[in-house]
């Protein structure tokens, strides 16, 4: 399956590349390339025509083309190592695989001249359109989840802004319930960004999560980070969008009670950012659209 291969590839990248930011860049590019391929597809068997068609279509700048080129270099290496009975090593020579239809050997991936040619028509950078998040649609998808362990994790993410890694690391002792509000003590924050998070009101989750935590007093409350990402993927969601929604929703509520500058500072603290310049990317580089019942939209 596509997602299983991508997860294994991510782990392979972390073992091969020392810089975590580089790993994320290469992995994101490869995952983006395979985004529209069916979940059950065997992405290891896609032929060169797929790459020749999709890469110029999806990647708009030279930097993006460079990222997918390098990502695919490791993906090809990952495939060869996986196929080798002894887990053999990869060489820089073009690898071939046998066609299931006519036993012909075909090169699975484009070579350097292909990237050079498409880069001649690409610019160095692009202006990305703002991302529109439809709150009603996201909430509906989450509410329809039957597995309470996933549903509670995603609802908590929406009202707390926790990163998916922080959600995955939570246990019952780190969550408090008081006067209708949920408080989360983040102890495994990114870069040491720990602290108490006051969640937005959610009466349904307040009641259900409290009972759930009482039943599971020990161990992690939710699934692993990779599993939560996979569940979101299957629903057409992105886990980090929950954090963006929280930031914008909290700021909109705070602006009713205090000056904008103070609201901005409160949101920065809630996201546990050191600089407001980081918070600004959540508030202003993305656009949250709340769709009303009668078709109205509010930014």
Domain boundaries, the chain: 2-119, 132-298
pLDDT, residue 44, reads: 86
pLDDT, residue 212, reads: 96
pLDDT, residue 93, reads: 36
Backbone angles phi, psi at 110, to 5 degrees: -65, 155
Burial class (CB in 10 A: 0-12, 13-18, 19+), 138: buried
7-11 long-range contacts (CB < 8 A, ≥24 apart) are 7/226, 7/230, 8/78, 8/82, 9/74, 9/75, 9/78
CATH of the domain spanning 132-298, picked from 3.30.70.1710, 1.10.357.10, 3.40.50.2300, 1.10.443.30:
1.10.443.30
Task: Name the H helices within 161-202.
Answer: 164-168
pLDDT, residue 102, reads: 42
Among candidate residues 163, 218, 168, 161, the one with its CA nearest the CA of residue 189? 163
Contact 124, 60 (CB under 8 A): no
Tell me the HSE value of 234 on the side-chain side, using a 13 A CA sphere: 13
Q: Does the pTM of the predicted model rise above 0.85?
A: no
Question: E-assigned strands of the chain?
Answer: 96-98, 105-107, 132-134, 175-178, 181-186, 195-198, 287-291, 297-298
Distance CA 84, CA 218 (A): 42
Digit-by-digit pLDDT tens for the chain (299 residues) are 788 899 999 999 999 998 888 999 999 999 999 999 988 888 988 888 999 999 999 998 888 999 999 999 999 999 888 766 555 443 333 343 333 344 433 347 888 999 888 888 776 655 556 667 788 889 999 999 999 999 999 999 999 999 999 999 999 999 999 999 999 999 988 888 899 999 999 999 999 999 999 999 999 999 999 999 999 999 989 999 999 999 999 999 999 999 999 999 999 999 999 999 999 988 886 566 666 453 433 43
């Amino acid at each position: 399956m596509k997602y299983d291969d991508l997860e294994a590839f991510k782990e392979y990248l972390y073992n091969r590349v020392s810089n975590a930011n580089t790993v994320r860049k290469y992995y994101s590019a490869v995952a983006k390339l395979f985004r529209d391929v069916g979940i059950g597809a065997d992405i290891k068997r896609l032929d060169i025509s797929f790459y020749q068609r999709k890469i110029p279509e999806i990647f708009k700048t030279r930097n993006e083309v460079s990222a997918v080129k390098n990502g695919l270099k490791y993906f090809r290496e990952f495939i060869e190592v996986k196929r080798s009975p002894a887990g053999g090593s990869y060489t820089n020579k073009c690898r071939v695989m046998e066609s299931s239809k006519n036993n012909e050997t075909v090169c699975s991936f484009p070579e350097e001249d292909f990237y050079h040619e498409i880069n001649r028509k690409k610019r160095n950078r692009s202006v990305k359109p703002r991302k529109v998040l439809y709150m009603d649609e996201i909430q509906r998808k989450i509410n329809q989840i039957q597995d309470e362990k996933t549903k509670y994790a995603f609802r908590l993410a929406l009202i707390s802004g926790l990163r998916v890694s922080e959600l995955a690391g939570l246990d019952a002792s780190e969550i408090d319930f008081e006067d209708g509000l949920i408080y989360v003590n983040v102890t495994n924050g990114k870069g040491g960004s720990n602290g108490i998070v006051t969640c937005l009101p959610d009466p349904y989750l307040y009641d259900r999560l409290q009972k759930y935590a009482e039943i599971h007093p020990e161990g992690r409350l939710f699934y692993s980070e990779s599993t939560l990402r996979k569940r979101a993927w299957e629903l057409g969601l992105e886990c980090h969008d929950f954090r963006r929604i929280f930031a914008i929703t909290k700021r909109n509520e705070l602006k009713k009670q205090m000056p904008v500058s103070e609201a901005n500072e409160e949101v920065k603290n809630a996201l546990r950012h050191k600089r407001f310049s980081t918070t600004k990317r959540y508030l202003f580089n993305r656009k949250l659209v709340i769709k009303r019942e009668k078709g109205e939209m509010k930014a």
